[in-house]
Structure 1
């Protein structure tokens, strides 16, 4: 789904990249909400098989599946979606069922996979939300957004928690839901890359070969 087709405003929630020379990404705290339109193109071809991710190193620390992954929740989610007539994207199912892929994605803010066991009606647009990633301290939550018939999807982010089986939070602000990626794989690729840039600077890890190109595109 393209940003202009989504029923949400578009922004990218992430960490600052000013130390990498990206003026458009000043450090404004743990997370900042940055211009989606200014994000550079991703440096990989994305076809749903995560070939680009399989080539990366696995990690024991800071991986987003460090708290146990999704092996218990995924069968329940798939059953709930099948009963609701919703088709999960193949790429989403592939990643959520493959620990070897999950352990290749690190989070500098200790985010973890927090897969919901069902969908929630989106308070904006005629679609459905499925939570899959959470900030360790509950600052942000990321959701798969499925259109009403499940034919298209995107990734959105918000400060509010939406959970299957729970009553809607009257304090939630639907206008704060932000479109942040055209597909699940596109979100994961950008999330992986920007976190690897952080670890390369903070822990002096090796910078991925594609990161220099990404940073240069962002600068210009």
Structure 2
């Protein structure tokens, strides 16, 4: 798609972080809550350089995972788009591709989909990469022809968007998609920290408080 034919419509999604509680420091009315970004601990953008140093790196590339990502990338290439480098490094890495699954307090699991046309923006696509075990929430890369890429969350499986229009009429797709991170690595870091923190606060598994978790929690203790 050339610059002359790129759509000019750029929806500004509501910014919300979808997550569970952090013990008494951040209540949650159910399995998940949608939190305002201003209430979250601020993150240092300088940490997110695509190397995932906070995780210890991504490890060697797994050929089978890289092959699946290549197939997704090939579909996107037809629309003039590419997968972000931090996303491909993480999803193809032996030490990283299941890192979010391993810490998830709600049994979320990695599931990289084929490109999904955006239901609200012509020319844009989504790629689901993580889903709740009961499909309460899905997380997607949101990709625009301009090269912009960020992470959104939705309670709906957008791969099956047409099915949601029946029998009760059209869905408010715009209202069902929330922007939750400016980059994949930013999303992965906050998800990784918060889920580890949940386990430490609730005494679940062998997770214990460390400087990373204590520093994150301090934001709520000061509030």
TM over 0.5: yes
Using the alignment, how far apart are the partners of 2:57 and 2:91 within structure 1?
18
Deviations 1:121-177 (A, max 9, x none): 24257632111111110101001011232x21111001111128x746325431121
Aligned counterpart in structure 1 of residue 131 of structure 2, from 130, 134, 138: 134
1:6 Cα deviation from its structure 2 partner? 6.4
Matches within 5 A, 1:81-120: 81-105=76-100, 106-120=103-117
Q: CA RMSD in A?
A: 2.5
Compared with structure 1, are the counterparts of its residues 125 and 214 closer, same or farther at alpha carbon in structure 2 (3 Å cutoff)?
farther
Aligned counterpart in structure 2 of residue 53 of structure 1, from 46, 55, 61: 55
In structure 2, the residue matched to 1:33 is: 34
Structure 2, unpaired ranges of 5+: 1-9, 59-63
Higher-helix-fraction structure: 2
In structure 2, the residue matched to 1:152 is: 148
1:75 Cα deviation from its structure 2 partner? 2.6
TM-score for the superposition, normalised by structure 2: 0.79
Deviations 1:55-102 (A, max 9, x none): 79xxxxxxxxxxxx9556323211111222111110011011113112
Structure 1, unpaired ranges of 5+: 57-68
- Count of residues in Structure 1 that have an aligned counterpart in Structure 2: 198
Contact 1:120–1:130 (CA<8 Å) still a contact in 2?
no
